[in-house]
Chain A
Amino acid sequence: MTPVSRGFRGRRQSTATAERLPPGQYETRDFPVLSAGPTPRTPLSAWDFLLRGADGLVARWTWDEFNALPHQTITTDIHCVTKWSKFGTVWEGISVDTLLSEAAAKGVTPSPFALAKSDGGYTTNLPLADVTGGKAMVAFIYDGAPLAPEHGGPARLLVPHLYFWKSAKWVRELRLMENDERGFWESLGYHNYGDPWREQRYAGDE
């Protein structure tokens, strides 16, 4: 039984805002920063991105090669598990679909699961189906400017239909896997999948 909070009225949003907010979220106009440790700083000259197949074959791009791939821009709402949502964020980057088709030329074949790996040791796991079909990109431009380090620059994964911890900051590698393997927060009590519309915040949520 949910107790009524005596005297609590709350601040009702407009219907338009309310419909855009997943359960338990509130809208923020800021861009809060959340990370578990210091912000890594990898110079672009040392930066590369790896797409590693389950059989160990690897496609690799330097920063310049990566930027030369066809760019995509998306405008999307993002939802953090700490309850803020931000509407209408604009990102530019390389679609994971593009990376996969480029990698296919090097013999890298798809597998059902993926683990994103970042500078600083952060990891997060996703079904491949959630980063393909136009659902995800490796983003390096936010709101028209290079992505700031505290927000994951030089590049972060962007998977906006899942809670934002899945959009790994400082991403350097996408490893394809035959079997699912839990990432950093997924091993520390957070939900394995993280759909904001089903409020899958913590392990045990349906």
Chain B
Amino acid sequence: MLDVPDWPGHRAGQHVDVRLTAEDGYQSERSYSIASAPEESRLALTVERLKDGEVSPYLTDELRSGDQLELRGPIGGYFVWEVALGGPLLLVAGGSGIVPLMAMLRHRNAAFGPDQMERRSVPARLLYSSRRWDEVIYRDELASLGKMDASLEIRHTLTRDQPEGWTGFQRRIDREMLEEVAWPPSERPQVFVCGPTSLVESVATALVELGHDAALVKTERFGPTG
């Protein structure tokens, strides 16, 4: 969580560049997705720690409350969604690809407040693929968002291990799963897909094969950024 005194505001789905500077002036930069809603006063980044990374281990292990960070952004004007763009909204995430999509769900929640009627005008569905249950990012927050919001459906798939009694999906996202979870193409859902390349590639291809308009399918591919 960052306090950014002159933050110009952002739209859900955008990212920032983070720059670290060593004492001798050596610098290293990476991009990270913004996890917080535009309505929140502080900026939240969710950083996946890469074992061999240069920047992510610093951010997750070393950075402490009170430290300063150099940011540039917000960046990106395509992979963005705001309530005014309407719905239905279909989000498909793999692993840490949930982060920019979480900003969209948090934005949708903050913008509508408690009014269920308004929410119903922009229904949302999230299909989220993780390897195992304890790797699901924002697990509790997603559960409580889903519970309080009748027009938000959250479906998980766990591709590697499933807890006992698991009733969700347990395979990689495929065409049949998308057909089951997504609105039909005639509803013209706005689709955002974010995750590792293989997931994004197969999900976007399957959606187009199912008849979704390619122009409504926006993708962001997460390569590891150490």
Contact = CB atoms under 8 A, between A and B. Distances in A.
Interface stretch (B18-26, B93-101, B108-116, B170-178): B18-26
Contact of A189 (B76, B204, B205, B226): B76
Band of interface residues on A: 35 or more
The main secondary structure of chain A at its interface with chain B is: loop
B70 A38 contact: no
Interface string A179-192: 00000110011000
A105 interface: no
A38 B20 contact: no
B190 to A, nearest CB: 12
A72 to B, nearest CB: 29
A82 B75 CA distance: 11
Contacts of B207: 38
A5 B77 contact: no
A3 B201 contact: no
Contacts of B58: 5, 7-8
Contact of A12 (B26, B205, B218): B26
Contacts of A36: 78-79, 218-219
B121 interface: no
A24 B27 contact: yes
Interface of A: 2-12, 24, 26, 28, 30, 32-41, 82-84, 120-121, 150, 184-185, 188-189, 202
Nearest 8 CB-CB pairings of A with B? A32-B223, A188-B77, A38-B204, A3-B68, A5-B20, A33-B197, A11-B54, A8-B20
